[in-house]
Amino acid sequence: MGLFDRFKKKKQDDAPCESILDTSVQEEAPAKEEAAPAAPAPAAEQKPETIDMLAEIAERFPQAERQGNALVFPSGLELRITLAKTDVYPKGVCIQFLFVMWHPFFDEDLVESVAGMGRTKADAVRDGIKGFCDGVLPFVLGALDCTGEHTLRTELQGNEYIFHEPCVIGGLHRGTGEGADLWGLVRELIPQYLGTKKAYWIKLLSSRMGKDICEARINGMVFPELTDVLYKAIADGKSTADGTMDKCFVLLLQDDATCKPCPFTKADAAAVAQQAIAGMLTIEDEESHRAVYEKIQQLHPTLGGEACAFVPEIYCRIIYNYHTTDSLLPVSLNIGEVRKSQVRSFGYFESAVLDYLRKERPKSDDHVKILRLSAEFRAINQAVQGGSKIEDLRFSPLAYVTPEDYVIW
């Protein structure tokens, strides 16, 4: 029995993020010492006393100017805050915030998720603010103003790209013992993940609180092979001792001398992805497959062909969450493998597919219409019918056909 026979829609955490339009949260009275219920108490039970989060951050960074629902810093950085989740327990509160940062250098928001914990909701809010202000914000501002001489260089299609390394690397350490040098573990590998973008936001996590958890993200996208470097470091005793957690934040900015404007935006890619998915849902046979793909390719000189190659594979990976490589193989270019972070549309399409799944909540039949276009899904289906487990499968870099004049952006 294959995946088509036993396909079940993967559960999505589809609850939309609640936007804190006035950047305020409500204070609550300390919880009474009572027996703990089986589940968290609903957030609606809290008593109000407003805390203005942007105002509290502005007190720490008086150079920032309040503009509506954002803080704007002299460097041009804009900061907004979104509430992602609140859990209220008898003895405390845990709130997850999304600190959303934008700057003219960024072609996408930089989003940092921070959990605040405390006896009351106000305590949890201030804990979240402290974590963001101590561990992330000053290092983003520092990177935007950095004039240091340390750089990282990469080459792509015969062109060199130079990136400035921040004078000070951001880090957060919790637990006993010394913090781990996560940046030092991956720094020499990072150039191969850099491409033509102006900004690359690198986030590293290594935790041994209960169980080993590692994660390496670049501009929001998880890179399994880079993550494995952190896992190996834990196994070798080179990072993050038992009972501790370490995070690292690094913003790399490309030098103006090597930075070139991209001919498309993230919004352009999202529009192409949306039309591509709509077209793929209409495919019934080989003839309609050919006709739909020709229309998708005509949507944009670069994005059309990339959407045909990437969207079904991204869709499959999100649904089944299997281990993939960090690389792509552009056929016809004769340059070998490139990292997914070097092909900016890949991350754009990933965001677009996630948005589609969250907003449209497609049925299983629609899932299958997209999945059957994925080469990796066909390989998974065949392997499962042969008795293999999805978690045991490993894949080679995704190869996609390119024209000879194809330019990687």
Residue 201: the pLDDT is: 95
Q: What single string gives the DSSP state of each residue in 347-402?
A: HHHHHHHHHHHHHH---HHHHHHHHTT-HHHHHHHHHHHTT--GGG---PPEEEE-
Instruction: Name, in order, each residue with C-beta under 8 angstroms of 111's C-beta and a sequence gap of 6 or more.
Output: 98, 99, 100, 101, 220
User: In whole angstroms, what is the distance from residue 227 CA to residue 236 CA?
Assistant: 14
Please calculate the CA angle 25-31-37 and round it to the nearest 5 degrees. 105
Mean pLDDT value of segment 190-200: 97
Is the CB of residue 114 less than 8 Å from the CB of residue 132?
yes
Residue 316: the pLDDT is: 96
User: In whole angstroms, what is the distance from residue 128 CA to residue 150 CA?
Assistant: 32
Tokens of 61: 């960074």
User: In whole angstroms, what is the distance from residue 37 CA to residue 49 CA?
Assistant: 25
- Say whether pLDDT at 209 is over 70: yes
Instruction: Name, in order, each residue with C-beta under 8 angstroms of 245's C-beta and a sequence gap of 6 or more.
Output: 172, 173, 174, 175, 205, 206, 207, 208, 209
Tokens of 28: 């609550």
Kindly report the average pLDDT of the chain as a whole number: 87
The per-residue pLDDT for range 372-396, each reduced to its tens digit, is: 999 999 999 998 888 888 888 888 9
The per-residue pLDDT for range 5-41, each reduced to its tens digit, is: 555 444 444 333 333 333 444 444 434 333 433 444 4
